Structure 1
Amino acid sequence: MKVLTVQYGCGAMCLFTAEDAVDELEEALSEAASNATFALIYFSKSRVDSETIIALMARSVPDLPYAACSTAGELTPNGAAEGQIMIILLPKDHFNVAAAPMRIDRTRRLDEAAADVATFRCLFQAEHEESESSRNFAMCITDGLSFDEEAVAAALHWGLDDLPLLGGSAGDGLDFNSTCLILNGEILTDGTILLLVNCDLPLQIFKTENFEPTPQKLVVTRSDPERRIVYEFNAADAAHVYADVVGVDPQSLSPMTFASHPLVLRIGNEMYCRSIQKVNEDGSLSFFCAIDDGIVLTVAEPTGMARSTADVLASVRETIGEIDFVLGFDCVLRRIDARNRQVTHKISQLYAENRVIGFNTYGEQYRSMHLNQTLAGVAFGIPVATKEAAE
């Protein structure tokens, strides 16, 4: 069977395929979507293009709203994978979803963007008030190569007020050429898709990271904040200084190096990753997150990814009970670091056992912050009626 379908206790479904099986996917989707209110689609650009996704949805479920994005890997019901087409169907029995494109970038005043977000939120909350049996939250998908994620995080946090937010940046494998976002058949350029969700399932929004700071400090002494490029650390060539500190040859710097030796920024009592995307021909370093002159970065070492991931999922189960499924946004650098430390199987198994479905990102949005090397997710518990029937 080229297309696999998994149904969860609440009625949510996940369809996925790693093969060129669009025709089979179309047939399976038509049959599975009768009770769906919204679809989330994550796809590998190495397998399909945006036009194929748009045509698939138009033929199969022309009236079903959906949001889609390209990825740097997929989290399937069978664990972590690459080269997949995944379609997650949210059931109308438990979810209400509204989605809108948001123009949020550095060229626009943040208060204007936040006002648009606030208007969208107010309309949604007026129609779907929170109660003892339902909660509202927000998700976003943004262009992982736009350099605008910090502006997006600020505007969304401002406009959403106290509504919790999580999300991820669309990816392009490890090519870093272009990403793709689609909302209801429209391709968005340098955009953000904001989804507001009302759900009557038990739920918990969470994040987990696994790194410890070392004594090594790097000061950004010359940079291009607009393009997130650092030319110099400590008044010397950025790539050479970084390579010397982590003990590798500058010519061997790679995504595996960056995943194994992340740089972190202290904000208050918290440490946040400012991960390196790639080394450039001139010896500069491109970053996934915002940087600027004068920032002091600390070299960190990832530690215990499998343990920290298992611990946070165990904590989630203590809060909401048995996990029905998790929508996850997992940094691509975590996947690379897991492979480097030979714990890919453990992480993949943890995701499968806890029903984590989603995609590998170029960055994660969690509440007011844009992050790297983090798993951010929203876990849904078993529906009350299902629990009562089981008892």
Structure 2
Amino acid sequence: MNPKTGTRYACGVVVLSAGLPDEENFWTEIDAAARTGRYAQALLFFSQDQFPADIIRNRMAHHADGLAYAACSTAGEIGGSTEGTGQCLAVLFPKDQFSISTVRIDGIRSIGFDRIVAQVKDARQVFDADAANHTTEAEQGDSFAICLIDGLSVVEEMITAALHWALDDIPLLGGSAGDSMHFNKTSLILNGDISDDCAIVLFCRTAVPFRIFKTDNFVPTERKLVVTRSDPEQRIIYEFNAAEAAGEYARAVGIDPGSLSPMSFASHPLVVRVGGEYYCRSVQKVNPDGSLSFFCAIDDGIVLTVAEPTGMTRSTNEAFEGVANEIGPVDFVLGFDCVLRRIDAQNRQATQRIQKIYEKYNVVGFNTYGEQYLSMHLNQTFTGIAFAQQAAIAGEKV
């Protein structure tokens, strides 16, 4: 492997990355890895501005025919050997350590809760039956599920709840696909079939010790906004406190309405209290009529509280240290990080500090339009799965 494009970790997972100058090396390494027949599944995260979905599909068909893969477009990529966003990342899971199967749920805007549950339960039965017929170490391990969802579908809450119900005791995490903050159309690919309006679920079993975790860094203030007019199906709020939404939000956070931007929303998130805990309901954008579009579910009568992010570096480091204390040295982390956390880190000049934490724990993943964790669809949160270093084989550059 080319040292500029790839890293192999102790569990045998290989991560490849490329920006446009390294693109040929990247596909050469994908080709070489696929030819070994060692890998059960690949996950690809890509900037569709630089790597359109049809290019990904055509390149995979040419260089990795026969390698199962799931892919999604992002709002930014995390990890790899290329600096910044605008990359394509590939995470290759070895057959001797991971048993993986996939199912794609199409038409998620209209399919309904019960049909999703039935489809995922059927897929899980096949996954469990396959494991029962094998005796490899991977098939006798513990299970988790990863979901990749169209981040513009506006139904992630329903999808996540249905998946959680169908998966029962299998923990779920994942991320909503993005499109580099254009808010136009995302792309998801399963084995060469490109779509949006869908969710891809990966059933995974491994003997490698792992932990699923999340972290956020916002604290509620005393400032309240009551939703008095909204369109829940489109996640649009027209009025807070019987006044124009954008203007009322701007007043509550002390910003001129004309200067509202993604940085404003990242620095002044809105949260809702559910069962004694606060969950973020992040603003996506201001619309021309002064309404606000959201990344998460909203409805009339909901009381939203203005929150202030605090101590992102500290809270992120504590979360990763806590996982390492549980499972020992961390091999790598598959992570789903809200794009608004990245923007807030940039706004507070904390990007390098967060990046150092991610580099220390070998985080690979993408910036999302929303995060999934167990039964919840979240915003302004990092969700991840940390894998332990099993043996004395430290993460090796290859």
Q: Give the TM bin, normalised by the shorter chain.
A: over 0.9
2:184 paired with 1:177: yes
CA pair 369-287 structure 1, distance change in 2 beyond 3 A: same
Query: Aligned with 2:301: secondary structure?
Result: coil
Are the aligned partners of 1:77 and 1:355 in contact in 2 as well (CA < 8 Å)? Answer: no
Deviations 1:110-157 (A, max 9, x none): 122111111111221232269996101100000001111011112101
Deviations 1:158-215 (A, max 9, x none): 1111210000000011111111000000012300001000011010000000000000
Q: TM-score, normalised by structure 1?
A: 0.95
CA contact (8 A) 1:13 1:89 kept: yes
Of the structure 1 ranges 244-253 and 115-124, higher mean CA displacement relative to structure 2 is found in 115-124
Letter in 2 for 1:101: R
Q: Secondary structure at the match of 1:47?
A: coil
Counterpart of 1:284 in structure 2 is 291
Give the 5 Å matches for 1:222-261: 222-261=229-268
Question: Structure 1 regions of 5+ residues with no counterpart?
Answer: none
Counterpart residue number, 2:356: 349
Equivalent runs, 1:117-156 vs 2, <5 Å: 117-128=120-131, 134-156=141-163
SS in 2 for 1:87: strand
- 1:60 and 2:63 aligned: yes
Structure 1 residue 251: deviation in Å?
A: 0.4
Unaligned runs of 5+ in 2: none
**Equivalence map 1:159-198=2 (5 Å):** 159-198=166-205
**Is the Cα contact below 8 Å between 1:2 and 1:17 reproduced in 2?**
no
In structure 2, distance between residues paired with 1:80 and 1:347: 14
- For the 8 Å contact 2:100–2:204, the answer to whether it is kept is yes
Q: State the one-letter code of the partner of 2:321.
A: A
- Report SS of the residue matched to 2:20: coil
CA contact (8 A) 2:139 2:206 kept: no
SS of the counterpart of 1:226? helix
Moved more, 231-240 or 89-98: 89-98
Question: May I ask how many residue pairs the two structures share in their alignment?
Answer: 387
Aligned-CA RMSD value = 1.8
* Residues 104/380 of structure 1: CA separation in 2 closer, same or farther (3 Å cut): farther
The residue correspondences of 1:67-106 to structure 2 (distance < 5 A) are 67-77=70-80, 81-103=84-106, 105-106=108-109
CA distance in 2, matches of 1:19, 1:112: 41
Q: 1:111, 1:360 → 2: CA distance? A: 30
Q: What's the offset of the Cα at 1:80?
A: 7.2
Structure 1 residues 206-230: Cα deviation after superposition (integer angstroms, max 9, x where no partner)? 0000000000010000000111000
Give the secondary-structure state (helix, strand or coil) at the position aligned to 1:309.
helix
Q: Residue 29 of structure 1 corresponds to which residue in structure 2?
A: 30
The residue aligned with 2:211 is 204
Q: Which moved further from structure 2: 125-134 or 32-41? A: 125-134
Is the 2:18–2:81 Cα contact (8 Å) retained in structure 1? no
Q: 2:306 aligns with which of 299, 318, 321?
A: 299
Rounded Cα–Cα distance in structure 1 between residues aligned with 2:32 and 2:106: 35
The percentage of aligned residue pairs carrying the same residue is 53
Q: 1 CA distance for matches of 2:390 and 2:20?
A: 33
Q: Secondary structure at the match of 2:43?
A: strand
